[in-house]
Chain A
Amino acid sequence: MSRFIATSAIRGAQGVVKQAEDMLKDALEKLGPDVPIALVDKEGVGTTYYLPVIYGYSGHKVEKLGDMTTPLEHAKSLLPPVPSENLWLPYLGETMDAGVATLFAEEIIEGIRFAKGEQPEVRNGYKFNGPISDVQTRSWGIQMVDGSMPGFAAVIGAAKSNEVAVKIVRELQSKGQLVFLSSTSNGRSIVDQLLEEGVELGYQTFTVPFGTDTISVVYAAGYATRAAFSFGNIAPGNWREILLYNKFRCFAFALCLGPMDDLKWATGAGAITYGFPAICDTVVPHILPTGITKYEHVVSMPFDDIPGRDDMERAERLVQRCIEVRGIKIKIPKVDIPVAFGPAFEGEVVRRENLRAEAGGKGGTCFEWLTMKDMDEVEDGKITVVGPEFDSFEEGAKVPLGIVVDVTGRKMQKDFEPVLERQIHHFMNGAEGVQHIAQRDIAWLRFSKSAVDKGFSLRHLGVILHTNFHNDFGAIVDKVQITLYTELDKVEELRKQARVVYRERDARIAGMTDEAVDTYYSCTLCQSFAPNHVCVINPERTGLCGAYSWLDCRAAFEISPTGPNQPVPKGKCIDPVLGEWEGVNSFVYEHSNRNIERFTIYSLMDSPMTTCGCCECVMAIIPEANGVMIVNRDDYSMTPCGMTFTTLMGTVGGGLQTPGMMGHAKLFITSKKFIPVEGGIKRVVWLSKNVKEEFAEELKEVCEREGVPDLMDKIADGTVATTVEELLPFLEEKGHPALTMEPII
């Protein structure tokens, strides 16, 4: 805690409490204790929550002047002394008390002003709104809860210029923030600035002018308190719940424009108790550690030092920073590009006749590279095209293209880079007239003539990515910037760097072991068809459909904490060889509708994973051959177990646990954890030919790793054996290792 701020806030609190005390004494003498107190807005619409901050904090109802004595005494009792010169302790607790005392005093003062008919404020013929009515609180509250208007900005003071004032308010509105206006700086108020520029203020435009003094900021706290009453179902007096509700659910903050004074600090301290941080556009001490607020408490961003070409850009960045500090997630309603966008266009093909330009593909130079950066390295929404655009490409030209995406986010992790990068494919395909194939440095994009005729440019690729990353991955992504390169040498140079990263990532994923983590993930997506099926996904085995890796699941869980991918803590190890853990067993038991009690990760014979119909492959033991066969979904041939893939599915699919049979992904065969209990790949006596071919290289490596370099030649497929009778002589002839291994049953 800053000593400077603490001292200032406590001084401010003492001053305002004294003012309240004097005013109350005077009012009681002149008006008497029975004068009713009611806060209403300029239309005369009020609240049923008395003085809401006081009511929220203490449960005390102020209905008439005489009722104010109790909260005033309460405020006085909270007041700490101003820290003496030689006291160097942290002052957080005391400063917060001072903040609460300030809000009490301010609300008392406003209440008295109402009793005297001095509120809402009228100045130069302009009537301020005053406090927000209950009716309006309810309607905005619903939008707060449903996320369309996540919170409010209490703007205090005046901006550097009228133009900056307008820009700040517009930016805040575009981020879905309500804007509350109060106080002055050097005698100017942001309300004056906006009125001079002809900006409409009021409920209709989501900008509420409270008043020209700092005391009226208390109306913001009153609004927040009533939101917690209505939408948090919290009883008055339950102050802790009210504050927590606001900290986690109401995305509000104070934006202090211009010099600070004691009362502003004192009021700010009150706001911080609600979890609302303050961002100041002047030089003030930072209070960065988090605690009462979700992230930083007080952030200083001196306006003239903000990087930017002009004041407009500086204003934009200032608001951007506010959004970050409060942790507000932004949804963008529409992908703003000149062609249609949606899942309907995902399968669309751009044919040669309609080809305007393409990037990548055979002989092309194209790559996509997504990197996680630090918060201050990414400017949200910045899209840069380095090099020529469509208008300088010949029709049908093959152009170099480098798509570099920088993301940042408080919940972003380095490991999510590949997960997000793979989304580029899906996002870009959504645009009408854009065809996207593959990823990384084999990406291939084609753009149709009609799309370019409608005004589609490379820049719009950036818009697509920016919008969709925010909308679909807002839980982990706070800011996204995109740079598109179209100059050959630059693209080649960056591609070189990207390739190094791709290799590092692959090595990292290949090196990720089951032992290195203490949590696996589940997938229950398939329960709609196979009600008892649970995929348990570990770093060395993907889901049986091949579509979900451990990392994918981890990212999916961050994005949707109530979704189908949940963490499965391993818990106590029951058997390291079988791969059986208490945590996994109990998770599977609970999520299989209490059908599956035991579950091992490393065995085919003892409680293997359940199988649902979408597995890429299914394996089954062939007792006669002392081994297992693996048939892939695209292989229609008969297999030595006497069943085709489809018939096998009918037997084991649907969420059954069948020792000796199990569904799995194609790539699982290459895992180090491929049925180790049964002896790994050496047990495979029959494997679909298409899999052998598709993964020829990978399988060769695995066989070498397992010390059986010529194993692939010894494994049969549909071309040599479709019955056990045909299989056995083949294995004998080749000397397949399974024949001499210990009995599988």
Chain B
Amino acid sequence: MAAVEVPIEKWTGKVHEVTLGGNGRKSVVVGGESTLPFLHFEGSLPRRPVIAIEVRDSEPKDWSPHLVDAWGDVLADPAAWAKKAMEYGADIIALSLRSAHPEEGNTGADEARKNVDKVLSAVDIPLIIYGPGVAEKDNEVLVAASDVAKGQRVALGNCEEKNHRTIAATCIADGHVAIGKTPIEINLAKQLNILLCDVGLSRDSILMDPTTGALGYGLEYTYSVMERLRLAALGGDAMTAMPMICTAGEESWRQKEAKFAEGMPEAWGDHLERALTWEEITAFSLFAAGADIMVVRHPGTVERMKAVIDRLMSESA
């Protein structure tokens, strides 16, 4: 058989490395890639893609019965939940301060401080902290969370164009990382990175969330945007070279294929297996597109993804 010569691309750029945690807490470093995902033969992939498990500050009311079964009682206690997530293998806890949402409790800075503090003391792995997704409330609770977590180098999100200055400012002041979220568009993602740097945030303190849909719900758009962002980064564009984070869990578990446990057509097969597959395929596709951090919900997915990553990250793969 004739030997096939593998074409090697010479990239000039490299993804920035971003560190979370440290200072007594375990640290997680992401980024540093100098080639496309898992192409060990072409460049270096010094860091494993990592998994974050979503934990909420208040018991979720509309979650799938599959998730409720998997987590049980801990859903009502963020600290216990985070501990259990760590046992299931989470590299990071993604604490969502959902109770601050005007329609889900409308709690404020004090509640945020309390919960962040609790979770920080319960686990020794790094944290991502999400606001409720309403700009005004995000600013209120994230600024408070940032203060409590000072020195622990957490990631704060989401930081969008309209509130980027506030989140950037608090990240600079307390030494955290900002998660810049833009709606599935390469130029907007890049522009937000530039704006964040303009405010004074350093490049190694930014993660990008390009916004994703689940499998069958627009995943392919995100895939292509992430691919292009990563190609631009490897091509030498420092303002697209931030590590990427995706929320596969939230998106997958919103869709009927995953969410419901009954009342689906027979042909869809085992409900739980289907739901897990939905989250898994969404997550894996996004890793293949270049994601560095994946936020998921089901413990089963963590196990499955870890197995896949183990294989893909072994050089002989």
* A interface, CB within 8 angstroms of B: 138, 141-142, 144-147, 230-233, 249, 524, 527-528, 531, 562-564, 593-594
User: Which B residues contact A (CB, under 8 angstroms)?
Assistant: 139, 143, 147, 163, 165-166, 168-170, 172-173, 185-188, 191, 194-195, 198-200, 202, 224, 228, 231-232, 235
Cβ of B172 and Cβ of A230 under 8 Å apart? yes
Q: How far is the CA of A230 from the CA of B163 in the complex (A)?
A: 19
| Shortest Cβ gap from B197 to chain A (Å) | 10
A224: min CB distance to chain B, Å: 15
Cα A324 to Cα B122 in complex, Å, equals 52
A-B contact pairs, 15 of them (CB 8 A): A142-B143, A144-B169, A145-B165, A145-B168, A146-B165, A231-B200, A527-B185, A527-B187, A528-B185, A528-B188, A562-B191, A562-B195, A563-B191, A593-B228, A594-B235
Asked if residues B187 and A524 are in contact (CB atoms below 8 Å), the reply is yes
Could you tell me if B169 and A141 are in contact, using CB atoms closer than 8 angstroms?
yes
A145 touches B169 (CB 8 A): yes
**Interfacial chain B residues near A562, Cβ < 8 Å:** 191, 194-195, 198
Task: Kindly list chain A residues whose C-beta atoms are within 8 Å of the C-beta of B188.
Answer: 528
Please name all residues of chain B whose beta carbon is closer than 8 Å to the beta carbon of A231 when the two chains form the complex. Answer: 169, 172-173, 200
**A232 contacts which chain B residues (CB < 8 A)?**
172, 200
Name 20 extra pairs, CB < 8 A, besides A141-B169, A147-B165, A594-B235: A138-B147, A142-B169, A142-B173, A145-B169, A145-B172, A146-B163, A146-B165, A230-B173, A231-B173, A232-B200, A233-B172, A233-B202, A524-B187, A527-B185, A528-B185, A528-B187, A531-B186, A531-B224, A562-B191, A593-B231
Residues of chain A within 8 A of B139, CB atoms compared: 146
Residues of B within 8 A of A141 (CB): 169, 173
Which B residues are CB-close (under 8 A) to A564?
187
Residue on B nearest A563 in the bound complex, by CB: B191
CA distance A240 to B50 in the complex (A): 40
Q: 10 nearest interchain CB pairs?
A: A145-B169, A146-B165, A146-B166, A142-B169, A230-B173, A562-B194, A528-B185, A562-B191, A231-B172, A527-B187
CA distance A294 to B295 in the complex (A): 45
The chain B residue sitting closest to A249, CB to CB, is B200
CA distance A609 to B75 in the complex (A): 56
Chain B residue, CB-CB nearest to A230: B173
Of the candidates A145, A524, A528, A593, the one whose C-beta lies within 8 Å of that of B199 is A145
Cβ-Cβ contact count across A and B, 8 Å cutoff: 56
Cα of A563 to Cα of B195 in the assembled complex, Å: 10
Count chain A CB atoms within 10 A of each CB in B168, B186, B200, B235 and give the residue with the most.
B200
Alpha-carbon distance between A147 and B187 when the two chains are bound, in angstroms: 24
A residues less than 8 Å from B194 (CB atoms) = 562
A593 contact set on B, CB distance < 8 A: 228, 231-232, 235
Which residues of B lie under 8 Å from residue A249 when comparing CB positions?
200
A102 to B310, CA, bound (A): 63
Residue of B nearest to A531 (CB): B228
Q: Which residues of B contact A147 (CB under 8 A)?
A: 165
Q: Determine whether the beta carbon of A138 is less than 8 Å from that of B191.
A: no
CB distance from A591 to the nearest CB of B (A): 9
A562 to B164, CA, bound (A): 14
Instruction: Report Cα–Cα, A147/B165, bound state, in Å.
Output: 8
Residues of B within 8 A of A138 (CB): 147, 173
CB distance from A487 to the nearest CB of B (A): 43
B258 to chain A, nearest CB (A): 28
CB neighbours of B143 from chain A (8 A): 142
Q: Please indicate the chain B residues that have their CB under 8 angstroms from the CB of A144 in the complex.
A: 169
Distance, CA A230 to CA B201, complexed state (A):
11
Which single residue of chain A is at the shortest CB-CB distance from B191? A562
Residues in A with CB closer than 8 Å to B186 are 527, 531
Distance in Å from the Cβ of A134 to the closest Cβ of chain B? 10
CB closest residue in chain B, given A591: B187
Of chain A, the residue at the smallest CB distance from B175 is A233
A528-B191 Cα distance, complex, nearest whole Å: 13
**Inter-chain contacts of B168 with A (CB < 8 A):** 145
Please give me the residue from chain A that is nearest to B235 by CB atom: A594
Residue of A nearest to B192 (CB): A562
When chains A and B are docked, how far (Å) is the Cα of A558 from the Cα of B114? 44
Complex contact B228–A233 (CB within 8 A)? no
Compute how far the CA of A249 lies from the CA of B187 in the bound complex, rounded to whole angstroms: 26
Minimum distance in angstroms from A722 CB to a CB of chain B:
37
Task: Quote the shortest CB–CB distance from B242 to chain A (angstroms).
Answer: 15
List B contacts of A230 (CB < 8 A).
Answer: 172-173
Interface-centre pick from A145, A531, A564, A593 (highest chain B CB count, 10 A): A145
Known A230-B172, A562-B194; judge A142-B166 contact (CB<8 A): yes
Contacts of A594 in B (CB 8 A): 235
> Closest CB-CB distance, B171 to chain A, in whole Å?
10
Please, how many angstroms separate the alpha-carbon atoms of A315 and B173 in the complex? 36
Give the one of B139, B172, B194, B202 with max A CB within 10 A: B172
Q: What's the minimum C-beta distance from B253 to chain A, rounded to whole angstroms?
A: 27
Q: How long is the Cα–Cα vector from A594 to B12 in the complex, in angstroms?
A: 14
A135 → chain B closest CB, angstroms: 9
What is the bound-complex CA distance between A233 and B204, given in angstroms? 13
Closest to A145 in B: B169
Q: Which residue of B lies closest to A232 (CB)?
A: B200
A145 to B198, CA, bound (A): 11
Q: Please, how many angstroms separate the alpha-carbon atoms of A531 and B143 in the complex? A: 36
By beta carbon, the residue of chain B nearest A233 is B172
Minimal Cβ-Cβ distance residue in B for A532: B228
Distance to closest chain A CB from B144 (angstroms): 10
- Give the shortest distance, in Å, between A333 (CB) and chain B (any CB): 12
List, in ascending order, chain A residues with CB within 8 A of B165's CB: 145-147
Cβ-defined contact, B187 with A142, below 8 A:
no
Closest to A138 in B: B173
Alpha-carbon distance A145/B173, docked complex (angstroms): 11
A233 contacts B187, CB within 8 Å?
no
- Complex CA distance for A231 and B174, rounded to whole angstroms: 9
Q: How far is the CA of A141 from the CA of B195 in the complex (A)?
A: 18
Q: Which residues of A contact B172 (CB under 8 A)?
A: 145, 230-233
By the criterion CB–CB under 8 Å, are A233 and B232 in contact? no
Knowing A142-B143, A142-B170, A593-B231 are in contact, say whether A233-B185 is a contact too (CB < 8 A).
no
Q: Using Cβ atoms and an 8 Å threshold, which residues of chain A touch B228? A: 531, 593
Complex: how many Å from CA A404 to CA B168? 40
In the bound complex, CA of A325 to CA of B228 (Å): 44
Residues in B with CB closer than 8 Å to A527 are: 185-187
**How many angstroms from the CA of A531 to the CA of B147 in the assembled complex?**
40
Determine the distance from Cα of A138 to Cα of B172 in the docked complex, in whole angstroms. 11
B198 / chain A contacts, CB cutoff of 8 Å: 562
Q: Which residue of B147, B200, B202 is within 8 Å of A145 (Cβ)?
A: B200
Per the bound structure, the CA–CA distance linking A249 and B232 in Å amounts to: 31
With CB as the reference atom, state the residue of chain B lying closest to A594.
Answer: B235
Please report the C-alpha to C-alpha distance between residue A215 and residue B235 in the assembled complex, in whole angstroms.
55
A248 to chain B, nearest CB (A): 10
A146 to B168, CA, bound (A): 8
* Residue in B163, B165, B235 with the greatest tally of chain A CB atoms within 10 Å: B165
Interface centre among B169, B186, B188 (most CB of A within 10 A): B169
- Measured between beta carbons, the chain B residues less than 8 angstroms from A233 are 172, 200, 202
Q: Which residue of A lies closest to B194 (CB)?
A: A562
Closest to A139 in B: B143
Q: How far is the CA of A616 from the CA of B67 in the complex (A)?
A: 51
Q: Which chain A residue lies CB-closest to B170?
A: A142
In the assembled complex, the Cα of A145 lies from the Cα of B169 at a distance in Å of 6
Considering residues B168, B173, B200, which has the most beta carbons from chain A within 10 angstroms of its beta carbon?
B173
Given the complex of chains A and B, what is the CA–CA distance between A231 and B198 in angstroms? 12
Give the residues in chain A near B202, CB-CB below 8 Å: 233
Q: Which residue of A lies closest to B232 (CB)?
A: A593
- The CA of A594 and the CA of B228, in the complex, are separated in Å by 11
Q: How far is the CA of A528 from the CA of B169 in the complex (A)?
A: 29
Which residues of A are found within 8 Å of B195, using beta-carbon distances?
Answer: 562
How distant is the Cα of A232 from the Cα of B201 in the complex, in angstroms? 8
Residues of A within 8 A of B224 (CB): 531
Per the bound structure, the CA–CA distance linking A564 and B190 in Å amounts to 11
Residue contact B169 to A146, C-beta cutoff 8 Å: yes
Cβ-closest chain B residue relative to A245: B200
In the bound complex, what is the Cα–Cα distance between A562 and B202 (angstroms)? 17
> Bound state CA distance, A531 and B170, in angstroms?
34
